[in-house]
Amino acid sequence: MATTEEVVRRYFAIVADLSSTADELRAVLAPDAVFTELPNPISPRGHTRSVDETVAGFEAGKSRLAAQTIDIHEVLVAGERAAVRSTWRGVVGETEIVAHMGGFVTVRDGRVAAHETYDCYEPFAL
């Protein structure tokens, strides 16, 4: 079975890859996984999502973005929990949006069971 860090890195790689599929994403998610996005400029009130809502957002994001990357700077693991520090870059039209992210991911039975993310966006205008 993959390590917690390997699962986390695979999950982030799938999310970042605009050519990845919903099935690929679902394959790394526990069926009852929960995703919590804390308040930020994109989601001012924050949001908690189920797997289905997360996959729908994943697919919708692909239609809006011309490009995106996620650079993982650090993964600190304690058992099934990982703290991840990363930078997301996405291009909407001709505008690059950058978010510096800190997140906590829980892995259960080789799949992501929870992801709580704190996204700090650099100033942007669309």
For the stretch 46-86, pLDDT in tens is 999 999 999 999 999 999 999 999 999 999 999 999 999 99
- Let me know if residue 94 belongs to a domain: yes
- Let me know if residue 126 belongs to a domain: no
- Let me know if residue 35 belongs to a domain: yes
Confidence label for 1 from pLDDT (cuts 50, 70 and 90): confident
Confidence label for 23 from pLDDT (cuts 50, 70 and 90): very high
- Let me know if residue 112 belongs to a domain: yes
Q: What is the mean pLDDT of residues 16-35?
A: 98
Total domains, the chain: 1
How would you label 73-88 residue by residue, b for 16+ Cβ within 10 Å and e otherwise?
eebeeeeeebebebeb
Kindly report the CATH number assigned to the domain that includes residue 96.
3.10.450.50
Domain of residue 71, residue span: 4-121
DSSP calls for 26-74: HHTEEEEEEEEE---SSSTT-EEE-HHHHHHHHHHHHHH-SEEEEEEEE
- Let me know if residue 85 belongs to a domain: yes
